[in-house]
C-alpha cells in the first residue's frame, strides 16, 4: 500500500521521499485530502504502462475478425 503524504510535507521532505522511492516505496500526494499525484519507482511505472498496453492490445484483438492463414503456403511462397 502507498503511504499518503500531504503537499506541504512532500515539499519539505522531497529528497527523503525520493530516497524511499529509490528503495521501491510508493507515495500518494494529497492536497486537502484530494489525491493529486503518485510518486512511484520508475521501473514500476514502466511495468504498469507495459501491462496496460498488453491489455489494450488484447481488447483490440477481441474485436478483429479471425482469418485462416496457411502458414506452410506462406513459407513456401517466401522461399521462391
* pLDDT per position as a tens digit, 5-52: 999 999 999 999 999 999 999 999 999 999 999 999 988 888 889 999
CATH annotation of 3-62: 3.40.1620.10
Average pLDDT on 54-62 reads 93
Neighbours of 30 (CB within 10 A): 16
d(CA 9, CA 5): 6
User: pTM of the predicted model, to two decimals?
Assistant: 0.58
Domain ranges, ordered by start, for the chain: 3-62
For β-strands 3-6 and 27-31, DSSP reports them as parallel
Average pLDDT on 55-69 reads 90
Amino acid at each position: 500500500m502507498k503511504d499518503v503524504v500531504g503537499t506541504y510535507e512532500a515539499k519539505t521532505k522531497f529528497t527523503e521521499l525520493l530516497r524511499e522511492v529509490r528503495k521501491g516505496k510508493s507515495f500518494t500526494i494529497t492536497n486537502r485530502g484530494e489525491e493529486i499525484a503518485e510518486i512511484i519507482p520508475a521501473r514500476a511505472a514502466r511495468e504498469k504502462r507495459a501491462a496496460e498496453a498488453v491489455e489494450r492490445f488484447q481488447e483490440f484483438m477481441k474485436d478483429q475478425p479471425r482469418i485462416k492463414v496457411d502458414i506452410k503456403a506462406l513459407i513456401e511462397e517466401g522461399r521462391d
